[in-house]
Amino acid sequence: MNLVVLQNWLDNASFAILFLTMLVYWGGAAFPNLPYLGALGTAGMAIANLCMATLLGARWIEAGYFPLSNLYESLFFLTWGITTVHLIAESSSRSRLVGVVTAPVAMLIAAFATITLPSQMQASEPLVPALKSNWLMMHVSVMMLSYSALMVGALLAIAFLVVTRGQNIQLQGSSVGTGGYRSNGYRLNKASELISQPSAPSAENNGFARFETSSNGNGNGNTAVLGLVTTSEPQIASAEPLSPQRLSLAETLDNISYRIIGLGFPLLTIGIIAGGVWANEAWGSYWSWDPKETWALITWLVFAAYLHARITRGWQGRRPAILAATGFVVVWVCYLGVNLLGKGLHSYGWFF
């Protein structure tokens, strides 16, 4: 089969599958009682991932070098990385909400590469001398995988902000660092104890308390019942308390976002170091403050601050999520900003 024809078929198929997968995930979010939609969405992501892997493999065979030399190839490699990290995150979190935020981003990137880029930018061309090195695969692939992981982690942080409505809630789990602490936000009382005058809930309890009631009437119950705590004391007006389901989902999103960013940050660090070594071999300097290098450093600092705040300062919840959401924008500036400028040693080229 003609490899060029195969590539054209695969990139369009990837876009179509991702579009349908996005609709499936959104439908699953709107109608959670349809369980088969979740499995269908996961299957769609896996098929799209396989299509893009085949596309990149065919491109590699046709061109004779690792397919990361122009914007078209890097966009599809980025999308393949996002779908791969998505499958890992979804398997770890057991939450279909991951696809609600990752599927549309993957679809839009594939659409941009397939529909928007002119045909001359999609065609493979001989490598320039500076790119004829094994570092092309070692440096660029690691950088693109780090972008994928950081984007997915940041998207999950944005989903966390949506689920919690931007409220500053307390979380519990392994996603908080050494300085973090959270009580469950619930108060447990024996069924025989008076609960007519409960203490006022703190802000981090989201207005809920849990009371222990007897299941057999003997006063030694072991069933925890969720109840909304009310108080006659004047309080500052606050947002509507979150349901236990939202709290559980928010905690899952926060945890998996932290873990995915924790995966992407070491990859970004390794990629920057490898890029410095390659730059020294190609241009005689480890660091030249090229626009891509500068923004890669800014990206590293943003996510380093995120991890530092969580691990050593004990941040959790809204503040690190906002920092991660900022990192999502910074990653895109780092990836496509130099192309918008149309200059720099790392430019993939643009429409100009």
- pLDDT, position 277: 86
Residues paired with residue 240 on neighbouring β-strands, in sequence order = none
- pLDDT, position 287: 78
Classify residue 30 by its DSSP letter: H
Domain that holds residue 251: 132-168+245-351
Say whether both 41 and 111 belong to one domain: yes
- pLDDT, position 198: 45
pLDDT higher than 70, residue 57: yes
- Under a CB-based contact definition with an 8 Å cutoff, are residues 18 and 103 in contact? yes
Say whether both 54 and 109 belong to one domain: yes
- pLDDT, position 202: 45
Q: How many domains does the chain have?
A: 2
Say whether both 84 and 159 belong to one domain: no
Say whether both 13 and 111 belong to one domain: yes
Confidence of residue 71 (pLDDT cuts 50, 70, 90): confident
Q: Coil, strand, or helix at residue 210?
A: strand
In the chain, pLDDT over 70 holds for what percent of residues?
71
pLDDT higher than 60, residue 306: yes
Say whether both 148 and 62 belong to one domain: no
Spatial distance between the Cα atoms of 111 and 17, rounded to a whole number of angstroms:
11
Say whether both 64 and 9 belong to one domain: yes
- Could you tell me if residue 318 is inside a domain? yes
Say whether both 34 and 113 belong to one domain: yes
Say whether both 151 and 11 belong to one domain: no
Say whether both 141 and 92 belong to one domain: no
- Could you tell me if residue 142 is inside a domain? yes
pTM of the model: 0.77
Q: How do residues 189-246 score in pLDDT, each as one tens digit?
A: 434 444 444 444 444 444 444 333 444 444 444 443 444 444 444 433 445 666 666 6
Classify residue 139 by its DSSP letter: I
- Could you tell me if residue 58 is inside a domain? yes
- pLDDT, position 1: 55
- Residue 78 has a CB neighbour count (10 Å cut-off) of 24
197-to-39, 86, 180, 184, 192 alpha-carbon distances in Å: 47, 47, 30, 20, 14
- Could you tell me if residue 224 is inside a domain? no
Q: How do residues 155-179 score in pLDDT, each as one tens digit?
A: 999 988 888 876 666 665 545 444 4
In the chain, pLDDT over 90 holds for what percent of residues?
29
- Could you tell me if residue 177 is inside a domain? no
